């Protein structure tokens, strides 16, 4: 009997290795690289523009043991299968593994090495991929290399300039700098905005146990509400106010009204509401931010675990496509669980909006509709349920709602009241959402209603909101900046670098972020513009599709960028980081003033004469509430990764801490 052929399967993570290992026989050895094995060196740029952008990769010091294990495994194997993730990063990891094997002291025959790819870790998907083993996609590898090289060259070129012109120890990134610019520009727009008070007029009615309201919409032929549009750096912001700009004018108008309202028009129509498409990476991060307050990094970390355990399809995707197999599973499940009337009559398909979405890739969905994720830990369960409901609901019938609108007349005032009533829940039965609004009683034209009260209520125009994780990712996606795998690290990096703070879930630039942005925009405006950054992303997509040579792309970019760096280094003016003064003299030198600076671990007190005077002291930023445990002052603190939390000023005597204000 012939010996069984030994096969080596290479993946990135130990969890993925364990999951796949369960599906394969004893003739397979599965080894995890635990991420990239080779990368650009930390001590130098590692790219030579003069030598056709030659890249000097080196084995990461902490990966030498894994590399040794892989090379030994390769020698034992009759065939080697590279099964890293189905994206640019995964393709690059496979390429590096192959290069190491082919360039070992005892090289592995390249004919023994093949690439397999799958978008879900299930027995069927892995077995299907094994039948279609092919080669590493060098176009995807080039796209990953191009992004890595591009970002390294920009970072290594800009950082020394920032050291000279802003402050020592700073670093800059291509897409991170544009993201900081979005946040800084939004802050400027907020500061510029002048809030104005205005008044809305409501009539309140009672019908049985129900109370409903109607709002004044017209006075004679004049509309009460008026919209105003602001041109923002990344789009438009529309806000509304009314013609009643002062309290007296509003109250004087209310006095002209009686308490009797005449029903002028009653209209009702059925509205069919359809489910949203299944999740893409961007939409998953946005929803997790809005519903659970999670950062993009947190969402992607949990999604990674779900993917590696074989519970969801690959979580880095721009596509809303669902396979026929998944669609049929969802439809059968809905019919069995809720009844045939809850299944949409014809299969519901969604159109991809992303330019680079590949139809072969699927949206994020459960790999098995029957797995309800009951055994998962709390965070994984929350995210899995969200993914499960959104995907399964795509094949459910539309929800039918009845929208009722009632117009009432009082003197020259036209009031409007609207209500929404659920007629058939459809897909809402799966998602658990509700769209019911205030319930209106039966009314007909000519009826008269007596109001409990009619009054003017004060409102204020609001400035454009600060970015949250959700709205920032949405803006990056809309502008064509970054890609699914980059949103989370971009936002994480700008916080670690102390360029932005996150307070109560909203981003605000630090004084350091404002100074760095001011310098970069003054001297590199076109490179840090939204259109330029979006065009670079499109070029990277062309590289991935084999339509553009990555070295030509780099040459075109570097020719412009290098000249700007040289000019900025010689001619640009230094930008000063604004510091907050405490109004006290330095206790050491008696000359300087005490100021608040931002360092690696957050804010600290320093002398304004630094570096001549080296005085520093701990800064305690009061949080504005008392410690719930001991009653002492609560202070704002930061983790090593820049995440803000609250603690007690009496630490270590009192160890209370929390992410949110109690």
Write out the catalytic residue numbers.
Answer: 314
Q: Report the distance separating Cα 616 and Cα 434, nearest Å.
A: 55
563 backbone dihedrals φ, ψ, rounded to 5°: -60, -40
Chain Cα centroid distance, residue 574: 33
* Per-residue DSSP letter, 342: G
Assigned token pair, 202:
């409501």
Phi, psi of 621 (to 5 degrees): -90, 110
**Sign of torsion, CA 285 289 295 299?**
negative
First-residue to last-residue Cα distance in the chain: 71
- For every residue of 359-402, DSSP letters joined together read TTS--B-BS-TT---TTS-HHHHHHHHHHHHHHHHTTBPPEEEE
CA distance 268 to 403: 5
CA–CA separation, 40 and 145 (whole Å): 10
Note the helical H segments in 132-198.
Answer: 138-165, 174-192
- The counts of H helices and E strands in the chain are 17, 28
Three-class secondary structure of residue 270 per DSSP = strand
- Whose tokens are 């994984």? That residue is 380
d(CA 611, CA 321): 58
Q: Closest Cα to residue 516, out of 575, 603, 604? A: 575
Question: Which is it for the CA torsion 114, 118, 124, 126, positive or negative?
Answer: positive
**Dist CA 26 CA 276 (whole Å):** 43
- CA dist list (Å): 341 to 230, 421, 428, 585: 46, 19, 13, 77
* 500 φ, ψ (degrees, to nearest 5): -140, 150
Residue 252: CB partners within 8 Å, gap ≥ 6? none
Q: List all residues 6 or more positions away from 138 whose beta carbon is below 8 Å from its beta carbon.
A: 95
Cα 485 from Cα 384, distance rounded (Å): 19
| 166 neighbors 177 (Cβ within 8 angstroms) | no
Q: What angle, rounded to 10 degrees, do the helices at 530-544 and 138-165 form?
A: 150
Residue with tokens 């769209």: 435
d(CA 310, CA 366): 9
Ordered DSSP codes for 347-364: -------STT--TTS--B
Residue 239 burial (10 A CB sphere; 0-12, 13-18, 19+): middle
The helix/strand/coil state of 49 is helix
């Amino acid at each position: 009997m012939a010996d069984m052929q030994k096969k080596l399967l290479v993946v990135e993570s130990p969890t993925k290795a364990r999951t796949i290992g369960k599906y394969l026989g004893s003739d397979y050895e599965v080894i995890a690289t635990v991420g990239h094995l080779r990368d650009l060196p930390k001590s130098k740029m590692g790219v030579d523009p003069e030598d056709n952008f030659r890249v000097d990769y080196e084995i990461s010091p902490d990966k030498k043991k894994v590399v040794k294990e892989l090379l030994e495994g390769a020698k034992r194997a009759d065939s080697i299968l590279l099964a890293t993730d189905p994206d640019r990063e995964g393709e690059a990891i496979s390429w590096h593994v192959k290069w190491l094997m082919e360039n070992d002291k005892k090289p592995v025959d390249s004919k023994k090495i093949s690439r397999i790819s799958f978008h879900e870790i299930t027995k069927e998907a892995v077995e299907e991929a094994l039948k279609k083993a092919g080669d590493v996609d060098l176009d995807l590898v080039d796209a990953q290399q191009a992004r890595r090289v591009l970002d390294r060259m920009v970072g290594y070129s800009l950082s020394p300039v920032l050291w000279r012109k802003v402050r020592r120890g700073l670093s800059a990134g291509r897409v991170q700098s544009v993201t900081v610019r979005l946040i800084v520009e939004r802050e400027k727009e907020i500061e510029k905005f002048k809030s104005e008070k205005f008044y809305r007029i409501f009539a309140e009615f009672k019908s049985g146990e129900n109370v409903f309201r109607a709002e004044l919409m017209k006075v004679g032929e004049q509309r009460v509400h008026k919209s105003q549009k602001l041109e923002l750096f990344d789009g438009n912001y529309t806000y509304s106010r009314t013609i009643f700009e002062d309290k007296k004018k509003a109250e004087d108008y209310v006095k002209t009204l009686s308490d009797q309202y005449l029903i002028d028009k009653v209209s009702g129509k059925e509205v069919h509401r359809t489910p949203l498409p299944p999740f893409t990476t961007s939409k998953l991060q946005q929803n997790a931010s809005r519903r659970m307050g999670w950062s993009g990094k947190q969402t992607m970390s949990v999604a990674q675990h779900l993917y590696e355990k074989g519970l969801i399809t690959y979580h880095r995707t721009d596509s809303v496509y669902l396979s026929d197999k998944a669609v049929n599973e969802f439809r059968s499940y809905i019919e069995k669980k809720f009844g045939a009337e809850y299944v949409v009559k014809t299969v519901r398909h969604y159109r991809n909006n992303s330019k680079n979405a590949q139809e072969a890739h699927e949206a994020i969905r459960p790999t098995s509709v029957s797995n309800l994720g009951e055994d998962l830990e709390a965070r994984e369960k929350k995210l899995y349920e969200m993914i499960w409901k959104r995907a399964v609901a795509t094949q459910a019938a539309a929800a039918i709602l009845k929208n009722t609108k009632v117009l009432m007349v009082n003197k020259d005032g036209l009031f409007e009241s609207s209500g929404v009533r659920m007629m058939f829940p459809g897909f809402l039965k799966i998602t658990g959402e509700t769209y019911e609004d205030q319930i209106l009683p039966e009314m007909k034209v000519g009826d008269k209603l007596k109001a409990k009260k009619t009054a003017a209520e004060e409102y204020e125009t609001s400035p454009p909101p600060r970015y949250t994780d959700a709205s920032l990712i949405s803006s990056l996606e809309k502008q064509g900046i970054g890609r699914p795998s980059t949103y989370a690290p971009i936002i994480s990096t700008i916080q670690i670098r102390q360029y932005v703070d996150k307070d109560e879930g909203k981003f605000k630039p630090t004084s350091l972020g404002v100074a760095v942005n001011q310098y970069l925009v003054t001297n590199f405006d076109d490179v840090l513009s939204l259109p330029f950054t979006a065009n670079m992303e499109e070029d990277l997509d062309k590289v991935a599709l084999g339509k553009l040579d990555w070295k030509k792309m780099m040459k075109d970019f570097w020719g412009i960028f290098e000249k700007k760096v040289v000019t900025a280094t010689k001619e640009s003016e230094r930008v000063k980081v604004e510091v907050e003064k405490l109004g006290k003299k330095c206790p050491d030198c008696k000359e300087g003033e005490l100021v608040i600076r931002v360092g690696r671990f957050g804010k600290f007190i320093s002398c304004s004469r630094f570096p001549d005077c080296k005085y520093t002291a701990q800064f305690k930023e009061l949080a504005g509430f008392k410690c719930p445990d001991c009653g002492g002052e609560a202070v704002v603190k930061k983790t090593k990764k820049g995440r803000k939390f609250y603690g007690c000023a009496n630490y270590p005597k009192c160890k209370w801490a929390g992410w949110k204000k109690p």
